[in-house]
Amino acid sequence: MPGSSSSNDNGRSLEYLITDALSKIKGSKLTSRALADQARDSTTVRGIDSGLRASFTKAAGFVAPWMLTELNIHGGSAFEVDRHSDSDPGVADITITKGSSSLGVSVKHNHDALSHPRPYSLADAMGFAGTAIEVDHRKRMEAATTRLRVAARGATTFPSLPAGVKLKLYQEACAECATTVNRVAKNSTAVSTLFNFLVGSDFKKVIVKTHHTSRALGSIVVADYTKIKPATSVTASVDNRTRASSLVLTFDNGWKIDLRIKNAATRISSSGQVSLKFDAQKKAGALPPIVTLL
């Protein structure tokens, strides 16, 4: 999960408590990696705010039975519980399986964030890892990085760059990414892969909201991303502003996503990639159906 260590710990703790609630239901069996993650996060959950831990525990008491209802699991029927790593395809954090049926759930605390691709590996997010398309994309990104280092005049941090140099890098990186996307804009497989990387499909997203000071549980909603229309084509453009730049993706299913580029670290490395990332925000698109659990 992206974000600060506190945000990561909170997210992992929520996943832990939901999985723990599922594990206590008759018929459940955790996969080996779910057991390993539970062992790891048993320490993490004890380290978060006690009020937040209580709210997460309460939320798990709503989420776990809802998940079983979604797969029609009852009366001690056998089912498997798995937890996912960031390297897995898709965005699900927890999956339960009964026979040939499964339910993938993404778990979020106080936000509904999209996934954030990295500029250098954008071709990978479209399914082109190890191909000529990826090689070409990385070469063009590396050329933009070389131009940055020349223009930096020895500066080793982003704040110390000469005026306009950082913005020019942002603009060039977004332009190179737009070029890569537009070259395969009608490749339905690549477009679907990119959309599913950013937004996801075939899963349901559980959003647990707590009060920012009291930590009291406020609401639990479920967004059904299985109902979003698939994307088959995309148009990429660049939005250059006075102090920022974005890669803008407009999909044929009505979704528009703004990927604002920024440096992910202060230091400028002397070789290889510089640390860049995108912050993704949905600007348009039909919302998935919402169910309120609390």
Tell me the per-residue pLDDT of 71-129, one tens digit each, with 9 for 90 and over.
Answer: 999 989 999 999 998 778 778 999 999 999 999 999 999 988 888 889 999 999 999 99
Among 122, 152, 168, residue whose Cα is nearest residue 270: 152
For residue 32, pLDDT over 70 is answered with yes
Give tens-digit pLDDT for 171-182. Answer: 999 999 999 999
Give tens-digit pLDDT for 182-215. Answer: 999 999 999 999 999 999 888 999 999 999 999 9
CA distances (Å), origin 13, targets 34, 39, 220: 13, 12, 16
- Single-letter residue type at 180: T
Q: Give the CA count within 13 Å in the CB-facing half-sphere of 199.
A: 32
Instruction: Provide the whole-model pTM.
Output: 0.83
Among 106, 294, 125, 118, residue whose Cα is nearest residue 201: 106
For residue 43, pLDDT over 80 is answered with yes
d(CA 167, CA 262): 9
In this predicted structure, what is the pLDDT of residue 1?
Answer: 39
For residue 18, pLDDT over 60 is answered with yes
CA distances (Å), origin 196, targets 45, 188, 291: 30, 12, 22
Element spanning 95, H or E: strand 94-98
Among 287, 184, 200, 197, residue whose Cα is nearest residue 232: 184
d(CA 177, CA 232): 18
More confident residue, 90 or 278: 278
In this predicted structure, what is the pLDDT of residue 5?
Answer: 53
CA distances (Å), origin 251, targets 123, 230, 232, 258, 277: 17, 9, 8, 12, 21
- Least reliable range by pLDDT among 27-41, 86-100, 226-240: 86-100
